[in-house]
Amino acid sequence: QIDVLVNNAGVNCIGPLAETPISAMENTFNTNVFGAMRMTQAVVPHMASKKKGKIVNIGSISIMAPGPWAGVYTASKAALHALTDTLRLELKPFGIDVINIVPGGIQSNIADSAISSFNKLPELKLYKPFEEAIRERAFLSQNIKPMPTETFAKETVSVVLKKNPPAWFSTGRLSTVMAIMHHMPIFIKDFLLTKSFMKKGAKVD
């Protein structure tokens, strides 16, 4: 019997959108979006037959204020969030709860894997002056005193196991800050994100 499905598998993808190979984008979406949907479609018939079950999708707080160099990853998580919201409505008649977990900075190896993938991409051309900033972006979530993995796991499990779990649960480093940024005027967000992620290499020949 399957009571809870947690779609936590994910890959990062850093780099400028204009120079990131489509194959790298497809790989990111294949894991972060279609991987979650494959698992969901596999368990829904069983859960529906029991009239109960919980599907937990792990998204990202980055969708609240998308910035430079992580566009592919953020877009994949935004797609997952949209699918999660739709699934919550579509699966409600079958007694299945769908929960959107929205982590901020959590201790993980996501930065190392992102750099490893970035190193395999073609050499940057237009964005070569920004390479240092791009590499730094990969380590953002791990350089801001991220929440310990065990703490995140305990908080998430506690929420998921509630009789009536929330549709959306966000925790982790900078989760509140990013939520606030989401409601800021676009020109302020653009200023803050540019200052944070594009200051190095700003001079382009």
What's the pLDDT score for residue 202? 54
Is-above-0.75 flag for pTM? yes
Q: What local confidence, expressed as pLDDT, does residue 201 receive? A: 55
Tokens at residue 125, please? 């051309």
Of 51, 73, 127, 199, catalytic = 73
Q: What is the pLDDT of residue 129?
A: 95
Task: Give me the catalytic one of 51, 52, 77, 128.
Answer: 77
- Please confirm, yes or no, whether 125 is among the known catalytic residues: no
Q: Give residue limits of the domains in the chain.
A: 4-197
Residues of the chain with pLDDT under 50: none
Which distant-in-sequence residues (6+ apart) come within 8 Å of 21 by Cβ? 121, 122
Q: pLDDT tens digits for 83-130?
A: 999 999 999 999 999 999 999 999 988 888 889 999 999 999 999 999
4-197: in CATH 3.40.50.300: no
Tell me, letter by letter, the H, E, C secondary structure of 17-49.
HHHCCHHHHHHHHHHHHHHHHHHHHHHHHHHHH
Active-site residue, 127 included? no
pLDDT of residue 145: 86
Closest to 103 measured CA to CA, from 68, 56, 54: 56
pLDDT given for residue 200 in this prediction: 59
pLDDT at 168: 97
